[in-house]
Chain A
Amino acid sequence: MLEYARWKYILVVVVLLLASILALPNLFGYTPAMQFARKDRADIDATAQATVEKFFKEHQIPFTSSSLEDGRLMFRFADVPTQLRARDVVLVDQELNRTYATALSLATRAPAIFGKIGLKPMSLGLDLRGGLYLLYEVDTAGAVAQVLESYEQSVRRVLQNAKIPFTDVVVTRVGDADANNAVRVLLPPGGNAGAALDALSKGMTDLTFDTIQLSSGPAVQGVMSPAQIRERQNYAITKNIETLRNRVNELGVAEPIVQRQGNNRINVQLAGVLNSAEVKDILGKVATLEWRLVDMQNNPAEAAARGRAPLGSKLYTERGTGRPVLLKRDVIITGDSLTDARSAPSQDGPSVAIRLDARGGDEMLKTTSANVGRRMGVVLIEKTTETVMVDGKPTPREVTTQEVISDATIRGVFSNQFNITGLRQSEAQELALLLRAGSLAAPMRVVEERIIGPSVGAENIRSGVIALIVGMVGTYLFMAMYYKVFGLVADAVLLANVVLLTALLSIMGAQLSLPGIAGIILTVGMAVDANVLIYERIREELRLGVSPQAAIKAGFEKAFSAIADSNITTLIAGIVLWVFGTGPIQGFAIVLVLGIFTSMFTALMGSRALLTLMYGGRRKLTHLPI
């Protein structure tokens, strides 16, 4: 008699049932689709849906369905050529392009009910669904240079306020750093280094100052510690990621991915986006913010007519209206200090709640205490590259635009938290978005770019799935031939393994890439191994004349250590791949690692439960069909 604990049966049944339900949405497959999102991020309503439907009908583009999903409009098409035709007609339509951001995508064919109860199919990687992959490198040295520059300004101000004479303030490199890391005050020969040190130590707490003696005279310098530099670089990257996320959201792409990669890189994956030039333009836009006081003594209209700003002021135009605005030359703070901006209702109507870091808060406090009742403006400075024809050759040119995006009265003294009021609701929302998305903490550039066309993606899925089916069927036939009934048991267990793996990948939200599909196929091949180890042991025991039921028991027990050992070594390779790999390779590693666990579970528990059920209770068992 063979026995197997009842709880183990229950566990196997429950796990497999659950897995089948979770894996179910994957059975329906995907269909080419096109997604519409409103550029102002408002929800799309049924009227708009009808308009777009009519548009497609007029252009004789058949779609299989149109549906509203999370305020976005999704059109499904029968095949990729229809999807591409749809894209071509939408792209040339000015009207639609003004209102909507569109992206090609792959939509699940699973009925909407699955989505409602939170069951989703595996998400597909860019190599399967098509899209744009960008790898940005953040200029972290630039981020440090920026902060040193602001230190330099602060040092000058502190010394001027303390009325300490100095020759110059320079940014320099101290010690074995590979870039500038210090600000140095050069004092005239015989200058009072002690007084300068004193003033600076009190006035600027985030740097530690000391005095040194140079050939030109005494000097005081503040050096950024390696930890401070690292912190600054990390901040720049985190801030840039946040900015990229906000900008990506403006694009209205479904399931965008923006993540840090390694030390100073950020990867961006936009499914269904194929127009890389436009996207790079929006994402890579270098924008900074500046807060300046409004010049209220002079008339901006006059200055604009003259084409020249009065001394101490700069002439700007307001975004949207084109109205001239005069702002003071002195910058209060830059967008660097901004930590958050969101639209919020206030007593005075819609407003944008601003949050600054400590340094920015101090500056703001100083300025506002002296200027209540005056006006303050926010300038958005955007740098974009545009391609122009020079001598018949396309040449990239950097274009800088400076616009005032807000001009409001200072109602009271504030420091690091304040509201910008006097806006309409829609203006408040837009300003908050611009402020949040507007600033990059450090310049960055694209170091890698990949575009996968939707037809390439569809082809990749097709070949991946065919290879999977052929590989599995081949394995099934061979196992059944070689191990007869036991082979069929192994086949059932293998199927359970694939279902379990699919369920895990679906709930983890792991991205399935082509190497990932290869991983599933390999898992099928390798999961067989555990069964083979067990069955070969059973055969060996039978050859030794052991009774069938004892042979099954011994087979499982003796094969266990070999199964465990061999899986752990593959696990080591899989984990290393997971840690070192990026993108699709990581996808392969995830499948490899998960596959080890699912195949151990199914081969050890699942097949034992099944075999015990089949042969455990038979009293006159003399022979095993193995």
Chain B
Amino acid sequence: MEFFRKQTNFPFMGTRKIWYGLSAVLMIVSFVSFFVNGLNFALDFTGGVSTNVTFQNSTDPEQVRSALQAAQFHEPQVTTFGSSREVSIRLPPVEGQSSEQIAAKLGEALKPLDPDVKIDPPEIIGAQVGDELRTSAIWALVFTLIGIFIYLALRFHTWRLSVGAILAVSHDPILVLGVFSITQTSFDLPVVAAVLAVIGYSLNDTVVVFDRIRERFEVSRRLPPAVVLDQAINQTLSRTIMTKVVTSIVVLALLFLGGPVLRGFSEALMIGILAGTYSSIYISSAVALDLGLTAEHVFPPVKKSPVDDLP
């Protein structure tokens, strides 16, 4: 089995204006949604309230949830723990209320279910912890991009390829954030891990293409750069698609079977992998080309010596 029996010859560079346009639209939509809707940050980043409640008899978390919603508690998360009489309740942060006030309100809401319900003193998860997590997530993103930029600049001897890679690679997490903000999917800590992994993987593809570009330039220095780039992308195309198919298999397994904790994580990976495949094929090399990439940039001008001209 092979995706492409013959070597493909798609004109990726010739059609790059179209892909730039598509990417620009996607980026603008993502940014607009990001700034208008924002992200639906999970408890990890917002802080919140948590408490444990003990009922006299076994209880259904679903019932507790609706009782809380009826009492104007927003987005309560209710889970059983220990025995089936005990549930743990999580609430988003409440401004200006003390632990005791929340306990009293919870008591009122849950009395109809069980008049002897026992409520532990609620714990308020510091919003500061959440703030710091958010800051460190942003720093993690920045450091990853810087590290990668430096590595690429060292490896390929030209900033043109680095800029192409960074643009392509930034493109993918922005798209992931865009989709998360449009769908208002809960954005938790594992999603951040997924976004960073997406950066790594997306780059993986870009680097494989760049590696081939370098190789093609070495073999045929006199060909126009656009032709060389097209050759490199086409020659690595079946590998790019093959790897993505296999990675998608495992990510889909995670998405559908990995349980609720990993849902956001796998969604982010799935979107990121699709975006990464697209950007490494259509964006990274095209940007380098428009920045004037030539063979000389990858292989700095060789000093003329008689040996070079020998066959």
Contact = CB atoms under 8 A, between A and B. Distances in A.
Do A and B interact with each other, yes or no? yes
A540 interface: yes
Given A276-B123, A514-B262, 10 more contacts: A84-B83, A395-B100, A460-B261, A467-B257, A467-B259, A474-B250, A532-B243, A565-B155, A566-B207, A589-B193
Interface of B: 1-2, 7, 50, 52, 79-84, 86, 88, 99-100, 103-104, 119-121, 123, 125-126, 128-129, 132, 136-137, 139-140, 143-144, 147-148, 151-152, 155, 189-190, 192-193, 196-197, 199-201, 203-205, 207-208, 210-212, 215, 235-236, 238-239, 242-243, 245-247, 249-251, 253-254, 256-259, 261-262, 265-266, 269
B249 A515 contact: no
A561 interface: yes
A88 B265 CA distance: 35
Nearest to A583: B189
Nearest to A494: B246
Contact of B128 (A447, A453, A454): A447
Contact of B250 (A525, A536, A565): A525
23 contacts: A276-B123, A277-B52, A393-B104, A446-B123, A454-B81, A459-B259, A463-B257, A463-B258, A463-B259, A464-B258, A471-B254, A479-B246, A514-B259, A514-B262, A522-B251, A566-B207, A569-B148, A569-B203, A573-B200, A577-B196, A579-B140, A585-B189, A588-B190
Given A459-B259, A561-B211, A449 B121 contact: no
Interface in A9-67: none
Contacts of A88: 83
Given A481-B1, A566-B207, A580 B136 contact: yes
Chain B, interface SS category: helix
A390 to B, nearest CB: 9
Contacts of B1: 481-482
A295 interface: no
B189 A453 contact: no
B257 A574 contact: no
Given A447-B126, A449-B125, A525-B250, A572 B151 contact: yes
Contacts of B120: 276-277
B200 A574 contact: yes
A266 to B, nearest CB: 13
Given A394-B100, A395-B100, A478-B245, A577 B52 contact: no
Given A463-B259, A467-B257, A566-B207, A525 B126 contact: no
Contacts of B211: 561-562, 565-566
Closest 9 CB pairs of A and B: A453-B81, A573-B200, A463-B259, A471-B253, A471-B250, A570-B200, A447-B126, A525-B250, A525-B247
Contacts of A472: 250
Contacts of A446: 123
A541 interface: no
A147 interface: no
Contact of B247 (A84, A455, A526, A581): A526
Contact of A529 (B79, B243, B269): B243
Given A463-B259, A518-B266, A565-B155, A576 B144 contact: yes
Contacts of A453: 79-82, 88
Interface centre among B189, B261, B269 (most CB of A within 10 A): B261
A74 interface: no
Given A394-B121, A451-B88, A515-B262, A573 B197 contact: yes
Contact of B129 (A135, A466, A579): A135
Interface string A549-580: 00000000010011001111111111111011
Given A447-B129, A474-B253, A592 B190 contact: no
Contact of B123 (A275, A387, A449): A449
Contacts of B81: 130, 274, 451-456
A396 B104 CA distance: 13
Contact of A515 (B2, B148, B190, B199): B190
Contact of A584 (B189, B203, B249): B189
A469 to B, nearest CB: 8
A452 to B, nearest CB: 8
A528 B125 contact: no
A511 to B, nearest CB: 15
Contacts of B261: 127, 460, 514
B82 A84 contact: yes
Nearest to A515: B190
B249 A478 contact: yes
A618 to B, nearest CB: 24
A613 to B, nearest CB: 25
Interface string A428-454: 000000000000000000111111111
Contacts of A195: none
A412 B246 CA distance: 77
A387 B121 contact: yes
Contacts of B238: 536
Interface string A495-519: 0000000000000000000110010
A79 to B, nearest CB: 14
A557 to B, nearest CB: 12
Contacts of B2: 482, 539
A94 B121 CA distance: 24
B249 A474 contact: yes
B140 to A, nearest CB: 4
A450 B103 CA distance: 18
A478 to B, nearest CB: 6
A466 B258 CA distance: 7
Contacts of A427: none
Interface centre among B80, B132, B140 (most CB of A within 10 A): B140
Contacts of A572: 144, 147-148, 151, 200
Contacts of A464: 258-259, 262
Contact of A451 (B52, B139, B246, B250): B52
Interface string A315-336: 0000000000000000000000
Interface string A457-495: 001100110111011101100110110000000000000
A588 B246 contact: no
A128 to B, nearest CB: 10
Given A572-B147, A572-B148, A576-B140, A460 B259 contact: yes
B88 to A, nearest CB: 5
Interface centre among B81, B83, B235 (most CB of A within 10 A): B81
A488 to B, nearest CB: 14
Interface centre among A468, A478, A572, A574 (most CB of B within 10 A): A572
A584 B191 CA distance: 12
B100 A562 contact: no
B138 to A, nearest CB: 10
A565 B211 CA distance: 8
A385 to B, nearest CB: 8
Given A87-B83, A459-B259, A463-B257, A522 B269 contact: yes
